[in-house]
């Protein structure tokens, strides 16, 4: 049996194993997908093992998406663009790093909304997922406002967007005034923080006293619960809104296609994800 692994910490909550194992099974592949709790110092030995045991590949998640980059043999342009790797493909012992988060996000966003080519998009957070989202939106031509707790991280991301994508990006520290300063013609709000994630925290990252700009589509990367508080509240105030299950599915389907060279069975993967989310919140 061929083994594909998820490396990171924590990984116990991840729904990727159920989705990928369903995909392998539907496709008749004798492969298994396994989450392995991996600390930074365990990453290089895990990659050596991947080469030695000819595992087809891996997903990499927090906090290792950047740390893995110098340990690989090659970086695909998708990883260079975001400066983070979430997918490793083992090409006969030559490990290539890809990023499917960025395209996965954009594919899912496009499935729900006609994404404009200009206007302001607000991203909450400046971590790995925010970088993938920022690259996708800058590619689309949107101007970015990055609101994050860490001014340094948000500033670095804004610099990256300006340098690599020649896009306009402004970093703002996270406080009430930041939300009040959001331009009223903002077209998109993306939550790329874990705020709202069950079971620990089901708050909305958006302050209740600040109205969501009227024309904004709201996308929450959090996918447990299936409908986050932010998504529910946005819908109640008349906004189109969606949470991150679709992105999880798309980035996973794109990773599957990199490892197997086959088209991912998205319909079955989506049904499996939905059942897993229902089980979690039964």
List active site positions: 65
Nearer to ligand NAP, 136 or 148 (CB): 148
Q: Is 247 in the site for ligand NAP (CB under 6 A)?
A: yes
Among the candidate windows 92-100, 148-156, 176-184, 263-271, which touches ligand NAP by CB under 6 A? Answer: 148-156
- CA 138/CA 130 separation, integer angstroms: 12
Residue 223 near ligand NAP by CB under 6 A? yes
Contacts of 144 (CB under 8 A, 6+ apart): 120, 121, 122, 123, 134, 137, 138, 158, 161, 167, 168, 169, 170
Nearest CB to ligand NAP, comparing residues 251 and 258: 251
When binding is defined by CB under 6 A, the residue of 56, 101, 134, 228 that contacts ligand NAP is 101
Number of residues this chain uses to bind ligand NAP (CB under 6 A): 25
Q: Which of 162, 194, 202, 266 binds ligand NAP (CB under 6 A)?
A: 194
* Spatial strand order in the sheet of 143-148: 169-173, 143-148, 120-124, 186-191, 217-220, 241-243
Q: Mark residues 24-43: x for contact with ligand NAP by CB under 6 A, - for none.
A: --------------------
Residue 96's DSSP bridge partners are 74, 89
Report yes or no: 40 and 62 within 8 Å, Cβ to Cβ. no
Among 9, 21, 27, 150, binds ligand NAP (CB under 6 A): 150
Record the tokens describing residue 73, joined without a space.
Answer: 């043999």
Q: Report which of 218, 278, 214 is spatially closest to residue 242, judged by C-alpha positions.
A: 218
The DSSP-derived string for 89-127 is EEETTEEEEE--HHHHHHHHHHHHS---SSSEEEEE--S
Select the residue interacting with ligand NAP from 6, 15, 126, 189 (CB under 6 A). 126
Q: How far is the CB of 86 from ligand NAP (least distance, A)?
A: 8
Of 68 and 126, the one with the shorter C-beta distance to ligand NAP is: 126
Residue 4, φ and ψ in degrees, nearest 5: -115, 140
Residue 216 binds ligand NAP, judged by CB under 6 A: no
Kindly identify the residues of this chain, within the stretch 162-181, that bind ligand NAP according to CB under 6 A: 174
Q: Is residue 62 within the footprint of ligand NAP (CB under 6 A)?
A: yes
* Cβ 99 vs Cβ 87: under 8 Å: yes
Residues that bind ligand NAP (CB under 6 A): 62, 101, 125-130, 148-150, 153, 174, 192-195, 197, 221-223, 244, 247-248, 251
């Amino acid at each position: 049996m061929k083994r594909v692994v998820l490396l990171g910490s924590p990984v116990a909550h991840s729904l990727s194993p159920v989705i990928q194992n369903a995909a392998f099974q539907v496709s008749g592949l004798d492969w298994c997908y396994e989450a392995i709790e991996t600390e930074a110092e365990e990453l290089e030995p895990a990659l050596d093992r991947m080469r030695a045991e000819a595992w087809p590949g891996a997903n990499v998640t927090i906090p290792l998406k950047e740390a893995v980059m110098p340990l690989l043999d090659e970086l695909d342009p998708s990883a260079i663009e975001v400066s983070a790797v979430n997918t490793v493909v083992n090409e006969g012992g030559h490990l290539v790093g890809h990023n499917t988060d960025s395209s996965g996000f954009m594919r899912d966003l496009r499935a729900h909304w006609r994404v404009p080519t200009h206007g302001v998009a607000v991203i909450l957070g400046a971590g790995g997922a925010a970088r993938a989202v920022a690259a996708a939106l800058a590619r689309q031509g949107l101007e970015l406002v990055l609101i994050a707790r860490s001014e340094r991280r948000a500033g670095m991301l804004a610099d990256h967007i300006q340098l690599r994508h020649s896009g306009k990006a402004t970093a703002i520290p996270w406080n009430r005034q930041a939300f009040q300063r959001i331009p009223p013609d903002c077209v998109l709000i993306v939550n790329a923080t874990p705020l709202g994630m069950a079971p620990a925290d089901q708050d909305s990252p958006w302050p209740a006293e600040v109205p969501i700009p009227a024309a904004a589509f709201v996308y929450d990367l959090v996918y447990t619960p299936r409908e986050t508080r932010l998504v529910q509240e946005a819908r109640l105030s008349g906004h189109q809104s969606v949470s991150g299950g679709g992105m999880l599915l798309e980035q996973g389907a794109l990773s599957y296609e990199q490892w197997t060279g086959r088209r991912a069975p998205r319909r079955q993967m989506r049904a499996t994800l939905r059942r897993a989310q229902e089980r979690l919140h039964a």
